[in-house]
Structure 1
Amino acid sequence: MDKNTSVAPRKWRKVAYGGMQPGFDDNHTDDSFLEEMVTNANVVKRDLFKVMLDSISISQYICIVTLVALVWSYTLESTITYNSLLLLDLILLGSGFLVLLLTSEMFTPKLFAKYILNISYFITGLYALSPIYHTLTRSISSDSIWALTAILVVLHLFLHDYTGCTIKAPGSSTSPTLTSNISLNTSIIASVLIASRLPSRQHVFAIMLFSLLVFLFAPFVLYCIKRFSFVLHLGISLGLVGLALALVYRLQGFLFGMLLGLLVFITFICPYWLIRIQKYKFEINGPWDEAKLCFDITE
Protein backbone atom coordinates (compact mmCIF):
# COMPACT_ATOMS: atom_id res chain seq x y z
CA MET A 1 0.00 0.00 0.00
CA ASP A 2 1.28 3.49 -0.84
CA LYS A 3 2.20 5.38 2.31
CA ASN A 4 0.92 8.63 0.71
CA THR A 5 -2.58 7.21 0.20
CA SER A 6 -5.05 8.96 2.55
CA VAL A 7 -7.39 6.89 4.68
CA ALA A 8 -11.05 7.99 4.69
CA PRO A 9 -12.24 8.94 8.16
CA ARG A 10 -14.50 6.42 9.89
CA LYS A 11 -18.13 7.52 9.95
CA TRP A 12 -19.98 7.48 13.26
CA ARG A 13 -23.26 5.61 13.44
CA LYS A 14 -25.84 4.97 16.13
CA VAL A 15 -25.34 1.65 17.87
CA ALA A 16 -27.96 0.58 20.37
CA TYR A 17 -26.18 -2.33 22.08
CA GLY A 18 -22.85 -2.51 20.29
CA GLY A 19 -20.69 -0.84 22.90
CA MET A 20 -18.07 1.80 22.03
CA GLN A 21 -17.09 2.40 18.40
CA PRO A 22 -13.35 2.57 17.66
CA GLY A 23 -12.15 6.13 17.21
CA PHE A 24 -15.13 7.73 18.99
CA ASP A 25 -15.89 8.47 22.61
CA ASP A 26 -18.74 6.63 24.28
CA ASN A 27 -20.83 9.82 24.49
CA HIS A 28 -20.01 11.06 20.98
CA THR A 29 -22.79 12.30 18.69
CA ASP A 30 -22.65 13.99 15.32
CA ASP A 31 -24.98 16.42 13.56
CA SER A 32 -27.34 13.66 12.41
CA PHE A 33 -28.24 12.72 16.00
CA LEU A 34 -30.86 15.49 16.33
CA GLU A 35 -32.39 15.04 12.88
CA GLU A 36 -35.12 12.79 14.31
CA MET A 37 -35.93 15.09 17.21
CA VAL A 38 -39.66 15.93 17.47
CA THR A 39 -41.11 18.53 19.83
CA ASN A 40 -44.60 18.46 21.35
CA ALA A 41 -45.66 15.41 19.34
CA ASN A 42 -48.09 14.18 22.00
CA VAL A 43 -49.17 17.54 23.42
CA VAL A 44 -52.91 18.10 23.09
CA LYS A 45 -53.85 21.66 22.21
CA ARG A 46 -56.98 22.53 24.17
CA ASP A 47 -59.71 24.96 23.29
CA LEU A 48 -60.96 27.30 26.01
CA PHE A 49 -64.64 26.73 25.26
CA LYS A 50 -64.19 22.94 25.17
CA VAL A 51 -62.41 22.97 28.53
CA MET A 52 -65.17 25.11 30.04
CA LEU A 53 -67.78 22.63 28.82
CA ASP A 54 -65.81 19.74 30.29
CA SER A 55 -65.59 21.52 33.65
CA ILE A 56 -69.39 21.63 33.87
CA SER A 57 -69.36 18.00 35.05
CA ILE A 58 -67.38 19.09 38.10
CA SER A 59 -69.73 22.00 38.86
CA GLN A 60 -72.71 19.69 38.36
CA TYR A 61 -71.52 17.14 40.91
CA ILE A 62 -70.53 19.83 43.43
CA CYS A 63 -74.11 21.11 43.24
CA ILE A 64 -75.46 17.57 43.69
CA VAL A 65 -73.40 17.12 46.85
CA THR A 66 -74.56 20.56 48.00
CA LEU A 67 -78.20 19.49 47.56
CA VAL A 68 -77.48 16.31 49.54
CA ALA A 69 -75.99 18.40 52.34
CA LEU A 70 -79.08 20.63 52.31
CA VAL A 71 -81.36 17.59 52.63
CA TRP A 72 -79.22 16.40 55.54
CA SER A 73 -79.48 19.79 57.21
CA TYR A 74 -83.26 20.12 56.74
CA THR A 75 -83.79 16.57 58.01
CA LEU A 76 -81.73 17.24 61.14
CA GLU A 77 -83.82 20.35 61.77
CA SER A 78 -87.04 18.32 61.20
CA THR A 79 -87.98 20.56 58.28
CA ILE A 80 -88.27 17.50 56.04
CA THR A 81 -90.48 14.75 57.44
CA TYR A 82 -90.06 11.01 57.15
CA ASN A 83 -92.87 10.71 54.59
CA SER A 84 -91.33 13.47 52.47
CA LEU A 85 -87.98 11.68 52.49
CA LEU A 86 -89.59 8.41 51.38
CA LEU A 87 -91.43 10.22 48.59
CA LEU A 88 -88.14 11.83 47.50
CA ASP A 89 -86.46 8.40 47.50
CA LEU A 90 -89.20 6.92 45.33
CA ILE A 91 -88.99 9.84 42.89
CA LEU A 92 -85.21 9.50 42.58
CA LEU A 93 -85.39 5.72 42.14
CA GLY A 94 -88.19 5.83 39.59
CA SER A 95 -86.71 8.69 37.56
CA GLY A 96 -83.29 7.01 37.58
CA PHE A 97 -84.64 3.77 36.14
CA LEU A 98 -86.68 5.70 33.59
CA VAL A 99 -83.59 7.53 32.39
CA LEU A 100 -81.66 4.27 32.11
CA LEU A 101 -84.43 2.67 30.07
CA LEU A 102 -84.47 5.62 27.67
CA THR A 103 -80.74 6.26 27.32
CA SER A 104 -78.77 3.09 28.01
CA GLU A 105 -78.45 0.70 25.05
CA MET A 106 -77.39 -2.22 27.25
CA PHE A 107 -80.23 -1.84 29.77
CA THR A 108 -82.50 -4.75 28.80
CA PRO A 109 -85.75 -5.83 30.54
CA LYS A 110 -83.93 -8.88 31.94
CA LEU A 111 -81.25 -6.66 33.43
CA PHE A 112 -83.96 -4.32 34.74
CA ALA A 113 -85.63 -7.22 36.58
CA LYS A 114 -82.27 -8.24 38.03
CA TYR A 115 -81.66 -4.70 39.27
CA ILE A 116 -85.11 -4.57 40.87
CA LEU A 117 -84.41 -7.81 42.74
CA ASN A 118 -81.01 -6.62 43.93
CA ILE A 119 -82.42 -3.28 45.06
CA SER A 120 -85.16 -5.10 46.98
CA TYR A 121 -82.53 -7.08 48.87
CA PHE A 122 -80.53 -3.90 49.39
CA ILE A 123 -83.48 -1.93 50.81
CA THR A 124 -84.45 -4.81 53.10
CA GLY A 125 -80.92 -5.07 54.48
CA LEU A 126 -80.71 -1.30 54.91
CA TYR A 127 -83.95 -1.24 56.87
CA ALA A 128 -82.73 -4.08 59.10
CA LEU A 129 -79.47 -2.21 59.84
CA SER A 130 -81.17 1.11 60.59
CA PRO A 131 -81.30 0.56 64.38
CA ILE A 132 -77.53 -0.07 64.39
CA TYR A 133 -76.84 3.10 62.40
CA HIS A 134 -79.13 5.02 64.74
CA THR A 135 -77.01 4.25 67.83
CA LEU A 136 -73.62 3.88 66.17
CA THR A 137 -72.11 7.22 67.27
CA ARG A 138 -74.08 7.86 70.46
CA SER A 139 -70.88 8.20 72.54
CA ILE A 140 -69.31 10.76 70.15
CA SER A 141 -70.01 14.47 70.48
CA SER A 142 -71.98 16.23 67.77
CA ASP A 143 -69.18 18.72 67.07
CA SER A 144 -66.84 15.85 66.20
CA ILE A 145 -69.51 14.35 63.95
CA TRP A 146 -70.01 17.60 62.00
CA ALA A 147 -66.27 18.15 61.58
CA LEU A 148 -65.60 14.58 60.47
CA THR A 149 -68.54 14.67 58.06
CA ALA A 150 -67.27 17.88 56.46
CA ILE A 151 -63.80 16.38 56.01
CA LEU A 152 -65.23 13.21 54.44
CA VAL A 153 -67.42 15.18 52.03
CA VAL A 154 -64.45 17.30 50.90
CA LEU A 155 -62.37 14.14 50.44
CA HIS A 156 -65.20 12.58 48.46
CA LEU A 157 -65.33 15.57 46.12
CA PHE A 158 -61.56 15.60 45.73
CA LEU A 159 -61.30 11.89 44.78
CA HIS A 160 -64.50 11.53 42.78
CA ASP A 161 -64.22 10.37 39.15
CA TYR A 162 -65.69 13.30 37.21
CA THR A 163 -64.93 11.80 33.80
CA GLY A 164 -67.13 8.75 34.30
CA CYS A 165 -64.43 6.48 32.87
CA THR A 166 -64.44 4.16 35.89
CA ILE A 167 -68.23 3.91 36.17
CA LYS A 168 -69.08 0.26 35.72
CA ALA A 169 -71.84 -0.09 33.16
CA PRO A 170 -74.09 -3.16 33.03
CA GLY A 171 -72.20 -6.03 31.46
CA SER A 172 -68.88 -4.17 31.57
CA SER A 173 -65.69 -5.72 32.99
CA THR A 174 -64.12 -2.36 33.84
CA SER A 175 -62.96 -2.19 37.46
CA PRO A 176 -63.19 1.03 39.49
CA THR A 177 -59.95 2.72 40.48
CA LEU A 178 -58.64 2.96 44.03
CA THR A 179 -59.44 6.67 44.28
CA SER A 180 -63.03 6.19 43.10
CA ASN A 181 -63.52 3.43 45.69
CA ILE A 182 -62.14 5.64 48.44
CA SER A 183 -64.40 8.47 47.29
CA LEU A 184 -67.47 6.24 47.43
CA ASN A 185 -66.56 4.87 50.87
CA THR A 186 -66.09 8.35 52.32
CA SER A 187 -69.54 9.40 51.10
CA ILE A 188 -71.13 6.32 52.70
CA ILE A 189 -69.34 6.92 56.01
CA ALA A 190 -70.44 10.57 55.98
CA SER A 191 -74.03 9.44 55.38
CA VAL A 192 -73.85 7.03 58.32
CA LEU A 193 -72.51 9.78 60.59
CA ILE A 194 -75.37 12.10 59.66
CA ALA A 195 -77.96 9.33 59.98
CA SER A 196 -76.77 8.51 63.50
CA ARG A 197 -77.93 11.96 64.65
CA LEU A 198 -81.53 11.59 63.46
CA PRO A 199 -84.41 11.12 65.94
CA SER A 200 -85.76 7.72 64.77
CA ARG A 201 -84.69 4.66 62.85
CA GLN A 202 -87.31 5.45 60.19
CA HIS A 203 -85.51 8.72 59.49
CA VAL A 204 -82.22 6.83 59.44
CA PHE A 205 -83.53 4.40 56.84
CA ALA A 206 -84.96 7.17 54.65
CA ILE A 207 -81.86 9.39 54.74
CA MET A 208 -79.48 6.47 54.15
CA LEU A 209 -81.52 5.32 51.17
CA PHE A 210 -81.52 8.86 49.80
CA SER A 211 -77.76 9.27 50.24
CA LEU A 212 -76.92 5.91 48.68
CA LEU A 213 -79.23 6.57 45.73
CA VAL A 214 -77.37 9.81 45.05
CA PHE A 215 -73.81 8.60 45.63
CA LEU A 216 -74.21 5.14 44.06
CA PHE A 217 -76.94 5.51 41.44
CA ALA A 218 -76.84 9.15 40.31
CA PRO A 219 -73.30 9.15 38.78
CA PHE A 220 -74.21 6.26 36.47
CA VAL A 221 -77.51 7.88 35.47
CA LEU A 222 -75.81 11.19 34.72
CA TYR A 223 -73.12 9.39 32.72
CA CYS A 224 -75.79 7.72 30.57
CA ILE A 225 -77.46 11.10 30.00
CA LYS A 226 -74.16 12.66 28.95
CA ARG A 227 -73.47 9.86 26.46
CA PHE A 228 -77.01 10.06 25.10
CA SER A 229 -77.15 13.84 24.60
CA PHE A 230 -74.64 16.46 25.66
CA VAL A 231 -77.25 19.19 25.24
CA LEU A 232 -79.53 17.38 27.71
CA HIS A 233 -76.56 16.92 30.05
CA LEU A 234 -75.83 20.65 29.81
CA GLY A 235 -79.46 21.56 30.53
CA ILE A 236 -79.65 19.28 33.58
CA SER A 237 -76.35 20.67 34.86
CA LEU A 238 -77.55 24.26 34.58
CA GLY A 239 -80.79 23.29 36.33
CA LEU A 240 -78.92 21.67 39.21
CA VAL A 241 -76.61 24.67 39.52
CA GLY A 242 -79.57 27.06 39.61
CA LEU A 243 -81.46 24.93 42.15
CA ALA A 244 -78.45 24.60 44.44
CA LEU A 245 -77.68 28.33 44.32
CA ALA A 246 -81.31 29.25 45.00
CA LEU A 247 -81.64 26.93 48.02
CA VAL A 248 -78.29 27.96 49.48
CA TYR A 249 -79.20 31.64 49.02
CA ARG A 250 -82.38 31.10 51.05
CA LEU A 251 -80.35 29.36 53.73
CA GLN A 252 -77.45 31.81 54.15
CA GLY A 253 -75.95 34.56 52.02
CA PHE A 254 -72.34 33.83 52.98
CA LEU A 255 -72.59 30.20 51.88
CA PHE A 256 -74.23 31.37 48.66
CA GLY A 257 -71.25 33.62 47.94
CA MET A 258 -68.79 30.80 48.65
CA LEU A 259 -70.64 28.35 46.38
CA LEU A 260 -71.01 30.88 43.58
CA GLY A 261 -67.34 31.82 43.81
CA LEU A 262 -66.33 28.15 43.73
CA LEU A 263 -68.45 27.44 40.65
CA VAL A 264 -67.10 30.50 38.82
CA PHE A 265 -63.55 29.52 39.74
CA ILE A 266 -63.98 25.95 38.46
CA THR A 267 -65.96 26.77 35.32
CA PHE A 268 -64.18 29.90 34.08
CA ILE A 269 -60.94 30.71 35.89
CA CYS A 270 -59.40 27.21 35.97
CA PRO A 271 -59.95 26.58 32.22
CA TYR A 272 -58.47 30.01 31.46
CA TRP A 273 -55.38 29.20 33.55
CA LEU A 274 -55.02 25.84 31.82
CA ILE A 275 -55.05 27.46 28.39
CA ARG A 276 -52.62 30.17 29.48
CA ILE A 277 -50.01 27.73 30.83
CA GLN A 278 -50.35 25.50 27.78
CA LYS A 279 -47.73 27.56 25.93
CA TYR A 280 -45.13 26.53 28.53
CA LYS A 281 -45.62 22.86 27.72
CA PHE A 282 -42.50 21.53 25.98
CA GLU A 283 -42.05 17.84 25.19
CA ILE A 284 -39.05 16.42 23.31
CA ASN A 285 -38.95 13.05 21.56
CA GLY A 286 -36.02 11.66 19.63
CA PRO A 287 -33.69 8.71 18.93
CA TRP A 288 -32.60 8.62 22.58
CA ASP A 289 -36.08 7.62 23.78
CA GLU A 290 -36.64 4.13 25.10
CA ALA A 291 -37.90 1.74 22.46
CA LYS A 292 -41.53 0.66 22.71
CA LEU A 293 -42.25 -2.93 21.75
CA CYS A 294 -45.53 -3.71 20.05
CA PHE A 295 -46.73 -7.30 19.87
CA ASP A 296 -49.36 -8.41 17.39
CA ILE A 297 -50.92 -11.49 18.96
CA THR A 298 -53.15 -13.34 16.55
CA GLU A 299 -54.93 -16.61 17.04
Structure 2
Amino acid sequence: MSIAFTFPGQGSQAVGMGRDLAEAFPEARAVFEEVDDALSQKLSKVMWEGPEDELTLTANAQPALMAVSIAAMRVMEKGGLSLRDKVSYVAGHSLGEYSALCAAGTFSLADTARLLRIRGDAMQAAVPVGEGAMAAIIGLEAEDVEAVCAAASAGSVCQIANDNGGGQLVVSGARAAVEEAARLASEKGAKRAIMLPVSAPFHSALMQPAADAMREALAKVGKSAPAVPVIANVTVSPLTDPEEIARRLVEQVTGRVRWRETVAWFGENGVGTLYEIGSGKVLSGLARRINRDLNAVAVNAPADIEAAMQALV
Protein backbone atom coordinates (compact mmCIF):
# COMPACT_ATOMS: atom_id res chain seq x y z
CA MET A 1 0.00 0.00 0.00
CA SER A 2 1.26 3.46 -0.87
CA ILE A 3 1.31 6.77 0.99
CA ALA A 4 -0.27 10.15 0.32
CA PHE A 5 0.39 13.48 2.03
CA THR A 6 -2.58 15.80 2.63
CA PHE A 7 -2.54 19.45 3.67
CA PRO A 8 -5.22 21.20 5.76
CA GLY A 9 -7.42 24.12 4.80
CA GLN A 10 -8.95 27.13 6.49
CA GLY A 11 -10.43 26.40 9.89
CA SER A 12 -7.38 24.47 11.07
CA GLN A 13 -5.60 27.63 12.24
CA ALA A 14 -4.97 28.29 15.93
CA VAL A 15 -2.91 30.88 17.78
CA GLY A 16 0.45 29.32 18.61
CA MET A 17 0.56 27.04 15.57
CA GLY A 18 4.05 26.31 14.33
CA ARG A 19 5.83 27.92 17.28
CA ASP A 20 7.05 24.57 18.67
CA LEU A 21 8.47 23.73 15.23
CA ALA A 22 10.28 27.07 15.04
CA GLU A 23 11.74 26.59 18.53
CA ALA A 24 12.91 23.04 17.80
CA PHE A 25 14.15 23.21 14.20
CA PRO A 26 16.17 25.84 12.31
CA GLU A 27 14.65 24.59 9.03
CA ALA A 28 11.20 25.50 10.32
CA ARG A 29 12.36 28.93 11.52
CA ALA A 30 13.76 29.59 8.05
CA VAL A 31 10.36 28.86 6.49
CA PHE A 32 8.54 31.32 8.76
CA GLU A 33 11.18 33.98 8.12
CA GLU A 34 10.91 33.53 4.36
CA VAL A 35 7.12 33.82 4.47
CA ASP A 36 7.40 36.96 6.60
CA ASP A 37 9.83 38.45 4.08
CA ALA A 38 7.69 37.48 1.07
CA LEU A 39 4.64 39.19 2.56
CA SER A 40 6.52 42.15 4.10
CA GLN A 41 4.64 41.32 7.31
CA LYS A 42 5.55 39.68 10.60
CA LEU A 43 2.93 36.99 9.99
CA SER A 44 4.77 34.61 12.34
CA LYS A 45 4.11 37.00 15.25
CA VAL A 46 0.36 36.92 14.47
CA MET A 47 0.51 33.13 14.24
CA TRP A 48 2.25 32.69 17.57
CA GLU A 49 0.78 35.55 19.63
CA GLY A 50 -2.52 36.45 17.94
CA PRO A 51 -4.88 38.12 18.33
CA GLU A 52 -7.08 35.29 17.10
CA ASP A 53 -9.36 37.53 15.04
CA GLU A 54 -6.34 38.82 13.11
CA LEU A 55 -5.06 35.29 12.45
CA THR A 56 -8.54 34.21 11.33
CA LEU A 57 -8.66 36.87 8.61
CA THR A 58 -8.67 35.00 5.31
CA ALA A 59 -5.65 36.90 3.99
CA ASN A 60 -3.62 35.83 7.05
CA ALA A 61 -4.99 32.35 7.73
CA GLN A 62 -4.25 31.06 4.23
CA PRO A 63 -0.49 31.79 4.06
CA ALA A 64 -0.14 30.99 7.78
CA LEU A 65 -1.53 27.48 7.38
CA MET A 66 0.67 26.91 4.36
CA ALA A 67 3.73 28.06 6.31
CA VAL A 68 3.16 25.51 9.09
CA SER A 69 2.73 22.71 6.55
CA ILE A 70 5.90 23.61 4.68
CA ALA A 71 7.85 24.08 7.92
CA ALA A 72 6.99 20.48 8.85
CA MET A 73 7.92 19.33 5.34
CA ARG A 74 11.31 21.05 5.45
CA VAL A 75 12.12 19.42 8.79
CA MET A 76 11.20 16.02 7.39
CA GLU A 77 13.25 16.61 4.25
CA LYS A 78 16.24 17.62 6.36
CA GLY A 79 15.82 14.30 8.17
CA GLY A 80 16.10 12.41 4.92
CA LEU A 81 12.55 12.23 3.55
CA SER A 82 12.32 12.22 -0.24
CA LEU A 83 8.77 13.03 -1.32
CA ARG A 84 9.39 11.51 -4.74
CA ASP A 85 10.69 8.24 -3.28
CA LYS A 86 8.27 7.73 -0.38
CA VAL A 87 4.97 9.38 -1.34
CA SER A 88 2.68 8.55 -4.26
CA TYR A 89 0.32 11.54 -4.21
CA VAL A 90 -0.33 14.88 -2.52
CA ALA A 91 -3.62 16.70 -2.04
CA GLY A 92 -4.89 19.63 -0.02
CA HIS A 93 -8.25 20.95 1.15
CA SER A 94 -8.94 24.25 -0.65
CA LEU A 95 -5.94 26.49 0.21
CA GLY A 96 -4.19 23.27 1.23
CA GLU A 97 -3.88 22.44 -2.45
CA TYR A 98 -1.37 25.30 -2.69
CA SER A 99 0.53 23.86 0.29
CA ALA A 100 0.59 20.47 -1.46
CA LEU A 101 1.92 22.04 -4.64
CA CYS A 102 4.58 23.97 -2.74
CA ALA A 103 5.64 20.78 -0.97
CA ALA A 104 5.85 19.01 -4.34
CA GLY A 105 7.91 21.82 -5.89
CA THR A 106 5.38 23.32 -8.32
CA PHE A 107 5.61 26.74 -6.65
CA SER A 108 8.40 28.27 -4.59
CA LEU A 109 7.68 29.03 -0.94
CA ALA A 110 7.75 32.81 -1.46
CA ASP A 111 5.49 32.60 -4.51
CA THR A 112 3.05 30.35 -2.67
CA ALA A 113 2.82 32.83 0.21
CA ARG A 114 2.18 35.70 -2.19
CA LEU A 115 -0.39 33.69 -4.18
CA LEU A 116 -2.29 32.88 -1.00
CA ARG A 117 -2.25 36.49 0.13
CA ILE A 118 -3.69 37.51 -3.26
CA ARG A 119 -6.24 34.69 -3.01
CA GLY A 120 -7.29 35.63 0.50
CA ASP A 121 -7.62 39.32 -0.31
CA ALA A 122 -9.51 38.61 -3.55
CA MET A 123 -11.92 36.17 -1.91
CA GLN A 124 -12.65 38.66 0.86
CA ALA A 125 -13.21 41.51 -1.61
CA ALA A 126 -15.38 39.54 -4.06
CA VAL A 127 -18.63 39.97 -2.12
CA PRO A 128 -19.61 42.81 0.26
CA VAL A 129 -19.60 41.69 3.88
CA GLY A 130 -23.00 40.39 4.90
CA GLU A 131 -24.26 39.59 1.39
CA GLY A 132 -22.88 36.07 1.27
CA ALA A 133 -23.03 33.15 3.69
CA MET A 134 -22.17 29.49 4.19
CA ALA A 135 -23.94 26.75 6.13
CA ALA A 136 -22.95 23.24 7.22
CA ILE A 137 -25.54 20.57 6.51
CA ILE A 138 -25.10 17.46 8.66
CA GLY A 139 -26.75 14.14 7.96
CA LEU A 140 -28.08 14.47 4.41
CA GLU A 141 -26.77 12.77 1.28
CA ALA A 142 -25.16 14.91 -1.39
CA GLU A 143 -28.08 14.36 -3.77
CA ASP A 144 -30.53 15.70 -1.19
CA VAL A 145 -28.36 18.75 -0.53
CA GLU A 146 -28.13 19.36 -4.29
CA ALA A 147 -31.93 19.39 -4.42
CA VAL A 148 -32.12 21.75 -1.45
CA CYS A 149 -29.68 24.15 -3.12
CA ALA A 150 -31.65 24.09 -6.37
CA ALA A 151 -34.88 24.86 -4.53
CA ALA A 152 -33.32 27.60 -2.41
CA SER A 153 -31.42 29.44 -5.12
CA ALA A 154 -34.34 30.47 -7.38
CA GLY A 155 -32.43 32.94 -9.50
CA SER A 156 -29.83 33.54 -6.80
CA VAL A 157 -26.70 31.54 -5.89
CA CYS A 158 -26.61 28.55 -3.56
CA GLN A 159 -24.37 25.54 -4.20
CA ILE A 160 -22.38 22.83 -2.46
CA ALA A 161 -19.00 24.33 -1.62
CA ASN A 162 -17.38 21.46 0.32
CA ASP A 163 -18.24 17.78 0.30
CA ASN A 164 -16.22 16.86 3.36
CA GLY A 165 -17.53 13.36 3.91
CA GLY A 166 -18.92 11.80 7.05
CA GLY A 167 -22.31 13.25 6.23
CA GLN A 168 -21.01 16.83 6.30
CA LEU A 169 -21.61 19.15 3.36
CA VAL A 170 -21.17 22.91 3.26
CA VAL A 171 -23.33 25.12 1.06
CA SER A 172 -22.37 28.62 -0.04
CA GLY A 173 -23.90 31.58 -1.85
CA ALA A 174 -26.15 34.57 -1.32
CA ARG A 175 -27.18 34.92 2.32
CA ALA A 176 -30.95 34.66 1.81
CA ALA A 177 -30.56 31.60 -0.41
CA VAL A 178 -28.21 29.86 2.04
CA GLU A 179 -30.55 30.59 4.95
CA GLU A 180 -33.40 29.10 2.93
CA ALA A 181 -31.27 26.05 2.09
CA ALA A 182 -30.55 25.52 5.78
CA ARG A 183 -34.29 25.70 6.54
CA LEU A 184 -35.18 23.28 3.73
CA ALA A 185 -32.43 20.88 4.77
CA SER A 186 -33.83 20.74 8.30
CA GLU A 187 -37.27 20.02 6.88
CA LYS A 188 -35.76 17.28 4.72
CA GLY A 189 -34.34 15.52 7.77
CA ALA A 190 -30.85 16.94 8.25
CA LYS A 191 -29.53 16.29 11.75
CA ARG A 192 -28.22 19.85 11.86
CA ALA A 193 -28.09 22.86 9.55
CA ILE A 194 -25.74 25.47 10.94
CA MET A 195 -24.91 28.91 9.59
CA LEU A 196 -21.12 29.28 9.68
CA PRO A 197 -19.20 32.29 11.03
CA VAL A 198 -17.37 33.02 7.77
CA SER A 199 -16.60 36.32 6.12
CA ALA A 200 -17.46 35.40 2.52
CA PRO A 201 -19.29 32.73 0.45
CA PHE A 202 -16.23 30.69 -0.51
CA HIS A 203 -16.33 28.16 -3.36
CA SER A 204 -19.46 29.62 -4.93
CA ALA A 205 -20.16 31.42 -8.20
CA LEU A 206 -20.08 34.70 -6.25
CA MET A 207 -16.30 34.23 -6.01
CA GLN A 208 -15.84 34.80 -9.77
CA PRO A 209 -13.92 38.09 -9.24
CA ALA A 210 -11.46 36.18 -7.06
CA ALA A 211 -11.14 33.47 -9.72
CA ASP A 212 -10.27 36.17 -12.25
CA ALA A 213 -7.63 37.57 -9.89
CA MET A 214 -6.09 34.12 -9.43
CA ARG A 215 -6.03 33.48 -13.18
CA GLU A 216 -3.98 36.64 -13.58
CA ALA A 217 -1.69 35.88 -10.62
CA LEU A 218 -1.06 32.26 -11.62
CA ALA A 219 -0.21 33.30 -15.19
CA LYS A 220 2.67 35.41 -13.87
CA VAL A 221 4.24 32.95 -11.45
CA GLY A 222 6.88 30.30 -12.16
CA LYS A 223 5.54 26.74 -12.23
CA SER A 224 7.24 23.33 -12.33
CA ALA A 225 5.86 19.82 -12.63
CA PRO A 226 5.22 18.44 -9.12
CA ALA A 227 7.53 15.73 -7.80
CA VAL A 228 4.45 13.52 -7.39
CA PRO A 229 0.93 13.96 -8.81
CA VAL A 230 -1.51 16.25 -7.03
CA ILE A 231 -5.13 15.11 -6.70
CA ALA A 232 -7.06 18.23 -7.68
CA ASN A 233 -10.01 19.36 -5.56
CA VAL A 234 -12.25 20.01 -8.54
CA THR A 235 -11.50 16.93 -10.67
CA VAL A 236 -10.43 14.25 -8.15
CA SER A 237 -7.79 13.17 -10.65
CA PRO A 238 -3.98 13.12 -10.55
CA LEU A 239 -2.38 16.10 -12.28
CA THR A 240 1.24 16.75 -13.21
CA ASP A 241 1.03 19.37 -15.97
CA PRO A 242 1.74 22.81 -14.46
CA GLU A 243 -0.60 24.69 -16.78
CA GLU A 244 -3.50 22.33 -16.11
CA ILE A 245 -2.79 22.58 -12.39
CA ALA A 246 -3.07 26.38 -12.66
CA ARG A 247 -6.36 26.13 -14.57
CA ARG A 248 -7.82 23.83 -11.93
CA LEU A 249 -6.71 26.19 -9.15
CA VAL A 250 -8.69 28.95 -10.88
CA GLU A 251 -11.74 26.67 -11.12
CA GLN A 252 -11.33 25.75 -7.47
CA VAL A 253 -12.16 29.31 -6.32
CA THR A 254 -15.76 28.98 -7.52
CA GLY A 255 -15.96 25.16 -7.56
CA ARG A 256 -16.61 22.37 -5.11
CA VAL A 257 -13.95 20.95 -2.83
CA ARG A 258 -14.60 17.25 -3.44
CA TRP A 259 -12.82 15.94 -0.35
CA ARG A 260 -15.04 12.91 0.30
CA GLU A 261 -14.36 11.74 -3.25
CA THR A 262 -10.64 12.49 -2.90
CA VAL A 263 -10.29 10.27 0.16
CA ALA A 264 -12.36 7.58 -1.55
CA TRP A 265 -10.08 7.85 -4.61
CA PHE A 266 -7.05 7.22 -2.43
CA GLY A 267 -8.60 4.06 -1.04
CA GLU A 268 -9.48 2.84 -4.53
CA ASN A 269 -5.98 3.52 -5.89
CA GLY A 270 -3.74 1.66 -3.49
CA VAL A 271 -3.15 4.29 -0.81
CA GLY A 272 -3.11 2.81 2.69
CA THR A 273 -1.84 5.72 4.80
CA LEU A 274 -2.62 9.44 4.72
CA TYR A 275 -0.25 11.78 6.53
CA GLU A 276 -1.86 15.16 7.28
CA ILE A 277 1.01 17.66 7.25
CA GLY A 278 0.33 20.89 9.13
CA SER A 279 -1.90 22.48 11.71
CA GLY A 280 -4.66 20.49 13.39
CA LYS A 281 -6.21 17.08 12.75
CA VAL A 282 -9.32 17.94 10.73
CA LEU A 283 -8.42 15.95 7.61
CA SER A 284 -7.35 12.91 9.61
CA GLY A 285 -10.72 12.87 11.35
CA LEU A 286 -12.57 13.18 8.05
CA ALA A 287 -10.49 10.40 6.49
CA ARG A 288 -11.40 7.99 9.30
CA ARG A 289 -15.10 8.72 8.82
CA ILE A 290 -14.92 8.32 5.04
CA ASN A 291 -12.82 5.15 4.90
CA ARG A 292 -12.08 3.25 8.10
CA ASP A 293 -9.54 1.09 6.27
CA LEU A 294 -7.22 4.06 5.73
CA ASN A 295 -4.56 4.80 8.33
CA ALA A 296 -4.73 8.57 8.98
CA VAL A 297 -1.85 10.27 10.80
CA ALA A 298 -1.64 13.96 11.75
CA VAL A 299 1.86 15.46 11.66
CA ASN A 300 2.30 18.90 13.20
CA ALA A 301 4.28 18.76 16.47
CA PRO A 302 7.96 17.79 16.84
CA ALA A 303 6.97 14.42 18.35
CA ASP A 304 4.66 13.75 15.39
CA ILE A 305 7.50 14.44 12.98
CA GLU A 306 9.81 12.10 14.88
CA ALA A 307 7.25 9.29 14.78
CA ALA A 308 6.51 9.86 11.09
CA MET A 309 10.17 9.86 10.19
CA GLN A 310 10.71 6.53 11.95
CA ALA A 311 7.97 5.07 9.76
CA LEU A 312 8.97 6.79 6.53
CA VAL A 313 12.78 6.85 6.39
TM-score range, shorter chain: under 0.3
Structure with the larger strand share? 2
TM-score scaled by structure 1? 0.28
Structure with the larger helix share? 1
TM-score scaled by structure 2? 0.27
Relative contact order, CA 8 A, sep 6+: which one is greater?
Answer: 1
Q: Which protein has the larger Cα radius of gyration, Structure 1 or Structure 2? A: 1
